[in-house]
Amino acid sequence: MTDFREDVNVEQATFGAGCFWGAEAGFRVLPGVLDSRVGFARSSKDESALIEVVQVDFDARVISYSRLIEHFWTLHDPTSIDRQGADIGVKYRSALFINSDQQGRLALAGIQQLEASGRLGKSVATVILPLGEFQRADEDQQRYLEKHGAGACSL
C-alpha cells in the first residue's frame, strides 16, 4: 500500500466492472488515484456472490467519487447483466460497492444521470451494494496488465 501524506484526503471506492485487470488499469491512469488492488467483494446483504472488483484509494481533493463513477461507466457495459464481453456469470456483474451513505447517494445519482442521458439506449443494470467483505486477489493478479505489457482484457 502507498504511504499517504497528511495533505491528502484519502477515500476508498470499490467497483465491479467485469475483468478486474482492465478496471484496475483504467482507474490507475486517473490523476488523484493513489493506489489500487484487485480482488473479490461481496455485500454485507448478500453472502452468496463474490464479484470481481478493483478497490481504489483516491485523494478526494484531486478527484471526486462522482468523477470516479463517471469514469467507471467508460470501463465496461453497465447495461449488461452478469456479463462483460466473454466473461459470463454473477462474478462479472456491474456493481458499485459503497462504504458510506454519501457514496450511496452519489452512486444512485450517477446511475440516474446516466439513465437520463439516454446515451446507452438501455437500462443500467449496475447494482449498488454495501461493501461487506473484500478479499484481495493473489499478488500475481495485482497490476496484471502492467506486468504483462497488455493494454486491455482479452475478449
How far is residue 7 CA from its own chain's centroid? 25
Contact between 71 and 30 under an 8 Å Cβ cutoff? The reply is yes
CA distance 115 to 43: 24
Report the residue count for the chain: 155
User: What are the catalytic residues?
Assistant: 19
Three cell numbers, residue 81: 447483466
Which residues are paired to 56 by β-bridges? 13, 36
